[in-house]
Amino acid sequence: MRKLFYITCSFFCLSSCSGGGNDVQDGEQVTIASETGQPTPLPADVIYSAKPLINGRLYSKPNFEASSLAYFDTAQSIHILDTSNTMFVRARILQDTSSYTGYVPKTILPEQKQ
């Protein structure tokens, strides 16, 4: 009975320790990128990243009359998630420790070089 208890405990300890491998790998990629002067890798759902041409708002819906989720300025980087709308792009903005996802007008983003 004791053997079964020790085997079960050791199994749970080993299985709980093996889940954090992806975070270390992502951290290593960011460190390597910063040491070599290359840009940090973008998350998988991001198409590209851009800095806006003017200050603006992140809207909750693809409409200028929708509520504002966040404000951004020209120094901030915006992650573009979807460009299928004709006037807006779906975007993510990181401010302090929060992440906001909403819509930004296409006209305030620089043209993406192909």
Q: How far apart are CA 11 and CA 104, in angstroms?
A: 49
Residue-level pLDDT at 45: 78
User: What is the tens place of the pLDDT at every residue in 78-104?
Assistant: 999 988 899 999 999 988 888 999 999
DSSP codes joined into one string, 60-114: SSSSTTSPEEEEE-TTS-EEEEE--SSSEEEEEEEETTEEEEEEEEGGGSPPPP-
Walk along the chain (114 residues) and give the pLDDT tens digit of each residue.
Answer: 666 555 655 555 555 554 444 444 455 555 555 566 666 677 777 888 888 899 999 999 999 999 999 999 988 889 999 888 999 999 999 888 889 999 999 999 888 765
- With contact defined as beta carbons under 8 Å apart, do 93 and 76 qualify? yes
- Reported pTM: 0.62
Residue-level pLDDT at 49: 86
Residue-level pLDDT at 50: 87
